[in-house]
Amino acid sequence: MTSHVEDSGSSARLSPFEPGPDGAELFTAQGIERAWVFAVPMRVKFRNITVREGLILQGSAGLAEAAPFRNYPPPVAATWFAGAFAVAARGLPAPLSPVPLNVTVPVVDPDTAARLVRESGCSTAKVKVADPRSSLEDDIARIRAVRAALGATGKIRVDANAAWSLAEATAALPRLGEAAGPGGLQYAEQPCQTLAELVELQRATGIPVAADETIRLGGQLTEVLASGLAAAVIKAMPLGGPARAAALVADGLRAAAPGVTSAPLLVVSSALDTGVGLSAGLALATQLRTKAACGLGTLRLCTDSILTADPRIENGFLYPVETLELKGNLPPVSPEVQQWWRNRVEQVAAGFARL
C-alpha cells in the first residue's frame, strides 16, 4: 500500500474539493454541501504509508470522513463513502462515551517501541509484525521491549496484516507468544489471508486469532462471528458507517449464536483516521458497548491535525470532542492529490447505484 508524499514537512494540508460531473451529481443526491481533500504526514512510515489522504464531507448533520486507501478497488471504496454520506446526513449518536485504547506500535526499534508504550498510558499494545522491513527476530525484540514497558499485567496483540502463509504463521506465532511473556498474546490479528486459514491457525497453535481484513475487505463479518475466532476487529466506515456497522454486528451475532459457545471479543479500530473518522469510531464503540481496548489512538502516529480540536487521548482513554471544526489556515493539497481524489470519486459514483 502506497501513498503520494506531499512536500509538506510536518504540516497537515487541506483544500476545498470540487468533484467531477458524476461525483457532483452523487454528492448532491447524498446531501453533501461542501467537501475538502486532506493530506496529513505520518510520524513514521506505517504499512508503507507516509501521508494519510482522504476527503472530509459536510452534510446537514455535520462532518464525515471518506478516506479509503488508494489501493482499494472502487467497490470497496464505495462502502466507505456510503458510511460518510450517512454520517454527514444523520450525524453520530450522542452522547459519545470515552473508551479504553490500545497503543499501536509500528515497525520501529525496541527503544522507540518502549517509549511509545510508556507515553501512551495504555495497558494494551498492538504491535505490527511481519512487515517486509522487519525480520522475525526484529519483531521478537520489539515485543520484548513492549512487554518490559507494559509490565506483567499489560496485554499484547500483534497484527500481521495478512502477510503470512498458514505455515509461516504457524511457525512464527508461538515464538511471538513466548516473547510476549506471561499470558502470551491476547490475540494475533489477521496473520493469514483467508478465514479458513485463520480458523485452522487458531486450532493448531492454541493462540487466539482475530479477523480484520477478512471483515473490512472480504465482507465476511457474519462468517467471522460464527467461526469461533477469538476476536473480530470492527471498523466503522468500511462497514458503511457506525450505525450500519452496529446493526450488522448485532445481526451477525444473532445469526451465529446457535452455533458458537462464546461470542468473539469485539474490538473497534480505526484506519489511520483523522479526528473526524475517530469520532465515528467512538460512536461505534459506544453503540457496541465493548469493554475491549479499542484501536482508536492512531492520532499519535500523525504529525498534525486538520481539526481545531481532536478527540482527546488521556491516561489510555479516548475522549470525544464537543465540536468538529476544520482548521482554516492550513496549506493547500497539491493538484496531483486533488486530481487523484476527483478521479476516485468519479469511479465511486459510476458504481454507487450497485451498492
Return the active site residues.
128, 235
Q: Any residues with CB less than 8 A from the CB of 315 and at least 6 apart, and which?
A: 121
Pairing of strands 317-319, 99-100: antiparallel
Q: Say if residue 189 carries a ligand binding annotation.
A: yes
Distances (CA, A) of 103 to 34, 131, 194, 325: 34, 18, 26, 26
Give the three cell numbers for residue 321: 470532542
* Closest alpha carbon to 347 in 18, 19, 5: 19
Q: Is the peptide bond before 95 cis (omega within 30 degrees of 0)?
A: yes
The whole-angstrom separation of Cα 26 and Cα 32 is 9
* ∠ Cα 132 183 105 (to 5°): 35
Q: What are phi and psi of 73, to 5 degrees?
A: -70, 160
Considering only CA atoms, which of 225, 287, 251, 233 is closest in space to residue 97?
287
Helix (H, G, I), strand (E, B) or coil at 192: coil
Task: Report which residue type is found at 85.
Answer: F
46 in Cβ contact with 187 (< 8 Å): no
DSSP 103-163: EEE-S--HHHHHHHHHHH--SEEEEE---TTS-HHHHHHHHHHHHHHH-TT-EEEEE-TT-
Residue 115: CB atoms within 10 Å: 15
251 belongs to an annotated ligand binding site:
no
Nearest in space to 298 (alpha carbons), one of 42, 124, 92 = 42
Residue type, 6: E
Instruction: Tell me the binding residues for Mg(2+).
Output: 159, 189, 212
Instruction: Tell me the binding residues.
Output: 159, 189, 212
